[in-house]
Structure 1
């Protein structure tokens, strides 16, 4: 089946997670992704365990559907080989520190001379401008500086980072969005362009309602643990066998919850008539609900809550999350075979199309796995 990004060639100079995960998605959609690494292998993600058959499971989660070749960009030969690749490329993706590409003579202004249709996406911690432009960016630092950690965690606890590298993950999505938009614009203008993508910019833009509340009203959100900044009841309640998330986000849902709990009168209580009032009296309301939820198991409550169309869900461990029937029904876990390190499992791309099957052709490559093959092809082409 034809893929949407067939014949799009991506040269990927990036390391670690944010940019490589972006190029992986482009590869899932059919692009030819050529991953270029230093011959000594400088991507630290290859060194982060745990390991399966000698391969980092961290590296595996961001590098399928790519080929790997090695080039030393500090040498004239390496730079020339890269430029030859760029002549035929559609996209260059890199996450060098601001200024490094210019020092190597590989700045966009130079590269577009040899390929005016090139789309150059540069991912950095803080962008190409501003007082921190030349500083390195790491996901936990970005979570801290963006304010995300200050609104994550329990009120009595310390600021807390999200349990996955969320700034990197969100940035990988913007890599894809930016590249697709630039490709569409190139269809119109015939020209490529430079994309300046910053982890801090991405995380600031992802503060959503928290940022909107501040810039419009001066309202500063606080750490609330599993409570919601703006809605109540919208939190975890303990049951006989563990925690359950219940989200009664509308007045109608709250009335249904009151009926289910056997307390229709709560819906008429002046303290709880509106969401704003429920939020104001949240601690009292939460205690009242908790006294009832702890009398049944989570499965018992889920059956009842779903009958009343009230959103709810168990707080799963990672193993429970990946083994739950819904995940299995969606067929989200796939397998790929590599001739050297065998079979490994991966989480599939979540996009499901009516007229497209995403293809998983290539397992994450070994360092320089395709160098000989690739340069032999280039040599044959030149002859």
Structure 2
């Protein structure tokens, strides 16, 4: 911590669970001094039993320092404002009204530090008819249309297997904070950065959203098949399943060559991209008849030699054992004081001149109280102990 391209920034982290921490993790990984602020004596719901040894917590809150601070106590709020004077960024993902009740909203903090950049992640936005509703990932997936296009036709709505709304909201918050910090270099002023699970999930709907916005077409479920391109989907093999994505006429012709079914190229049902999409069931059946004759590995070798996009469908353990995943170092080691060497998910960004650096484990609650309060606020040990006894920190 304290090294890397973002080492000049100090971030006060008021977030919990996933969306906010996903934003702050980008700062922590790239070297910012991130101070996680937790309520004294509380075990947050993203830290079961109060233990930072929980696997998800280690991944989400790595590279941070932790202090405890009671923001509901007048002295606690006063200490927080002193921290704000020395910080660059504050990030929170409370329900929209909570920060105002605590007196730590953007307008209150900018009076203390006009350069502060304030990030808020919520379920549905900071205002509007839904802004006070509790917002969770699956709720945003449902409202955004995501669940209406995920899963097999006729089987009912299906959520994604990861918290995609939480994670993308966190990433968009991080992007917004970076933009605001860059703008601050020109204006000298901070600003309030806002995003929500709902906005982020709607952005992620991408071409499915555009099918409606431009064409008036309401997309439905297509299971493992691509919604508009065929053949693109999951096909059975002799020993399992594989993905094939033969978009366009040239790649379709190469696929037919590999499968040794050249007659499909001239079949009137499959002559064009729209025709192949319209006659998808017949085309999929013809391809599946051939893919069942060899193993997944054999087909992948043959298709890659001919430039046909394809790949296996791996379980989580198989994914991290994949040679390309290993090459990309997407599993990163961390030395934990009690657990020894553990692994967390690596950063998906590579910079040509700047390395990620060594990762540090997620902290225990209040682990850095003495260090942070002494170094940033100049409090001596006796004062820190007194504040602890009073329930302020």
Q: TM-score, normalised by structure 2?
A: 0.93
Deviation at 1:251, TM superposition (A): 1.1
- Distance of 1:21 and 1:206 partners within structure 2: 16
Confirm whether residue 13 of structure 1 aligns to residue 14 of structure 2: yes
How many Å apart are 1:141 and its aligned residue? 1.1
The 2-side partners of 1:142 and 1:182 are apart by 26
Output one character per residue of 1:202-250: Cα deviation in whole Å (capped at 9) or x when no partner: 0011101100001111111111110111100000000000010000011
In the TM superposition, residue 54 of structure 1 has moved relative to its aligned partner by 7.0
Instruction: Give the deviation of 1:47 after TM superposition.
Output: 1.4
Q: In 2, distance between residues paired with 1:372 and 1:338?
A: 20
Contact 2:333–2:359 (CA under 8 A) maintained in structure 1: no
Deviations 1:152-211 (A, max 9, x none): 111132211111111111112112111110011111111100011111000011101100
Cα contact 2:83–2:377 (8 A) shared by 1: no
Matches within 5 A, 1:362-381: 362-378=360-376, 380=378
CA contact (8 A) 1:64 1:360 kept: no
TM superposition shift of 1:100:
1.0
Q: 1:41 to 1:359 in 2, by over 3 A?
A: farther
Q: Say if 1:65 and 1:360, in contact at 8 Å, map to a contact too.
A: no
Question: Structure 1 residues 121-130 or 328-337, which shifts more?
Answer: 328-337
C-alpha distance in structure 2 between counterparts of 1:33 and 1:217, whole Å: 45
Paired position in structure 2 for 1:164: 162
Deviates more, 1:358-367 or 1:304-313: 358-367
Normalised TM-score (structure 1)? 0.95
Structure 1: runs of 5+ lacking an equivalent: none
State the 1:263 CA deviation: 2.0
Q: In the TM superposition, what is the alpha-carbon distance from 1:377 to its structure 2 partner?
A: 2.5
1:362 positional shift: 2.1
Question: Which segment drifts farther, 282-291 or 321-330?
Answer: 321-330
CA contact (8 A) 1:64 1:364 kept: yes
Summarize deviations over 1:264-323 as a string: whole Å, max 9, x none. Answer: 222122211111110000000000111000000001100110011011011111111111
SS in 1 for 2:212: helix
**Secondary structure class of the residue paired with 2:125:** coil
Return the alpha-carbon distance in structure 2 between the equivalents of residues 196 and 177 of structure 1: 11
Q: How far off its partner does 1:42 sit?
A: 4.4
Match of 1:201 among 194, 199, 202: 199
Which residue matches 2:309? 311
- Aligned counterparts, 1:1-383, within 5 A: 3-47=4-48, 55-378=53-376, 380=378
Query: Residues 340 and 81 (structure 1 numbering): CA distance in 2 closer, same or farther, change over 3 Å?
Result: farther
| CA distance, structure 2, for counterparts of residue 2 and residue 43 of structure 1 | 29
Determine the C-alpha separation between the residues in 1 that align with 2:119 and 2:376: 25
Change over 3 Å in CA distance of 1:10–1:379 after alignment to 2 = closer
User: Does the 8 A contact of 2:52 with 2:362 survive in 1?
Assistant: no
Which deviates the most, 38-47 or 141-150?
A: 38-47
Shift of 1:127: 0.7
Equivalent position SS for 2:60: coil
How far did residue 379 of structure 1 move?
A: 5.3
* Aligned length, in residue pairs: 380
Give the match's secondary structure for 2:334.
strand
Structure 1 outlier segments of 4+, above 2 Å: 40-43, 338-343, 376-383
1:333 to partner: Cα distance: 1.3
Q: Is the 8 A contact 2:3 2:32 kept in 1?
A: no
Give 1:381 deviation, angstroms: 7.0
**SS of the residue 1:161 aligns to:** coil
Which whole-Å CA distance do the structure 2 matches of 1:54 and 1:105 have between them? Answer: 29
Q: Which moved more, 1:82-91 or 1:267-276?
A: 267-276
2:47 counterpart SS class: helix
For residues 375 and 257 of structure 2, the distance between their equivalents in structure 1, rounded to whole angstroms, comes to 71
State the SS of the aligned residue for 1:221: coil
Q: SS at the partner of 1:44?
A: coil
Maintained 8 Å contact 2:52/2:58: no
